[in-house]
Structure 1
Amino acid sequence: MNELPKFVMIVGGILLLVGFLLQFIGKLPGDILIKKGNTTFYFPIVTSIVISILLSLIFFFIGRFK
């Protein structure tokens, strides 16, 4: 049971870092932005793919060195 607090702290740190970076990155090329009248649709497809790859790598290394 000693591993759970360590794991939660690592995940929290990763989420903090990702959130901080997203504040400065903003919108990546390839994200879909449609504006019509007073309606805006934003679908961050490239941002989602990048975050997914980064989190997969991070969790792979956490599992490998555990």
Structure 2
Amino acid sequence: MNPVAKMLIGLGIVLIMIGLIWQIGGRFLPLGRLPGDIVVEKENFKFYFPVMTSIILSIVLTVLSLIFRWFR
């Protein structure tokens, strides 16, 4: 099989898994509303910066890339 096709199939499976985890896990782990996320609300202004969510996603993506590299 063509290596590009394998990569696209693998990427599709990973995206489906992420979508399912996001859909199911969103009820239990409120990504985007974690302690440590910065929210500033004023009368006509709302500033939102998800610091803790960014850190968690970075750790998860790093672990996934290490796992993929390990099985390569």
Q: Is TM-score (shorter-chain normalized) higher than 0.5?
A: yes
**Greater strand content:** 1
Q: How does 1:1-66 map to 2 (within 5 A)?
A: 2-16=2-16, 17=18, 21=22, 24=26, 25-26=30-31, 27-66=33-72
Higher helix proportion: 1
Unaligned residue ranges in structure 1 (runs of 5+): none
Query: How many matched pairs?
Result: 66
Could you tell me which runs of 5 or more consecutive residues in structure 2 were left unpaired when the two chains were aligned. Answer: none
- Return the TM-score normalized by structure 1: 0.75
Q: Which aligned runs of 4 or more in structure 1 are off by greater than 6 angstroms?
A: none
The two structures, once aligned, show a CA RMSD in angstroms of 2.5
What is the percent sequence identity of the aligned residues? 35
